Amino acid sequence: MEFFVVIIILLCATFVYGSLGFGAALVAMPSLTLALGIKDATALVGFVIVTNAIFLLLTEWKALYLREATILLIGSLPGIIVGLFILNYVPSLLLQKIFGILFLLFGLYNLLKPTLFQINNNLLGIGMGFLSGILGGAYNTNAPPIVIYGALRRWPPEIFRATLQAYFVPSAILIWVGHGIVGMWNSQIIFYYLIFLPLGIVTLLIGKKLSTYIKGAYFSQILYACVSISGLLLLI
């Protein structure tokens, strides 16, 4: 039963990623944490995000802002190290509650759709990259700070998706390698990933295709509602 639940969660998360260009970990991590525990869930989603990000970058790279992605990545490097340290030395139950609060706040924040001021200073990208690295190393959820940063910069949708992938690919690879170095990979995780992989690629293609037909704002509302509910579940 656990096998089918894990694969279904990963496919749903991959569909969201294909549609929006982010959100796989936000969808997958709360449920997978309940099913596998925080460390195995983090390691498994690390494999999936590397695959998703590389695939989308190969199809959307022409629209990216390379300088912006580089600034974010520079900021994230020390953050990833901090995140891996937190994952290995902070009690998993405490992490679950902390990230439950973060998911809930992030989901509600986006559902309320506040009017964000616009920024033109690249230095904020260093700080957002650092926060993203911490969340990525500890829980594979490096998207929230980057999504908020992109919104503050008023990036058009195509630039937003492509720039996110240009940041996600190297950062996801670093996080993925870091998980291996600290001993988080195991045979069960690799087995789940290999079974998921062919189905995941098809699902990613479907999500990418449907993204041209589904109203982005409507789909985003569904996503952020699910994120809020997932965060609430982690707090119960």
Distance of CA 57 to the CA centre of its chain: 15
Enumerate residues 6+ apart whose C-beta is below 8 A from 45.
10, 13, 24, 25, 28, 29, 32, 140
Q: What are 29-55's pLDDT values in tens digits?
A: 888 988 898 889 989 999 999 999 998
Q: How far apart are CA 184 and CA 179, in angstroms?
A: 5
Q: Structure pTM?
A: 0.79
Q: Examine the pLDDT at 185 and tell me if it is beyond 90.
A: yes
Q: Examine the pLDDT at 125 and tell me if it is beyond 80.
A: yes
Query: Is the CA virtual torsion 46, 132, 55, 32 positive or negative?
Result: positive
The pLDDT of 56-72, averaged and rounded, is 81
pLDDT of residue 92: 63
Question: Which pLDDT band, with edges at 50, 70 and 90, does 114 fall under?
Answer: low
Most confident of 46-55, 97-106, 148-157, 226-235: 46-55
191 against 89, higher pLDDT: 191
DSSP label of 122: T
The pLDDT of 221-233, averaged and rounded, is 76
Question: Which pLDDT band, with edges at 50, 70 and 90, does 215 fall under?
Answer: low
Q: Examine the pLDDT at 227 and tell me if it is beyond 80.
A: no
pLDDT of residue 174: 85
8 against 95, higher pLDDT: 8
Q: Where are the domains of the chain?
A: 2-235
Q: Examine the pLDDT at 209 and tell me if it is beyond 70.
A: yes
pLDDT of residue 60: 78
pLDDT of residue 103: 79
Distance of CA 225 to the CA centre of its chain: 16
Q: Examine the pLDDT at 8 and tell me if it is beyond 60.
A: yes
Q: Examine the pLDDT at 216 and tell me if it is beyond 60.
A: no
Residue type (1 letter), 61: W
183 against 146, higher pLDDT: 183
Q: Examine the pLDDT at 117 and tell me if it is beyond 90.
A: no
Comparing 40-49, 66-75, 182-191, the range with the smallest average pLDDT is: 66-75
Percentage of residues of the chain with pLDDT beyond 90: 20
Enumerate residues 6+ apart whose C-beta is below 8 A from 112.
none
Enumerate residues 6+ apart whose C-beta is below 8 A from 79.
129, 130, 131, 132, 133, 134, 135, 136, 137
Q: Examine the pLDDT at 202 and tell me if it is beyond 80.
A: yes
Q: How far apart are CA 69 and CA 122, in angstroms?
A: 10
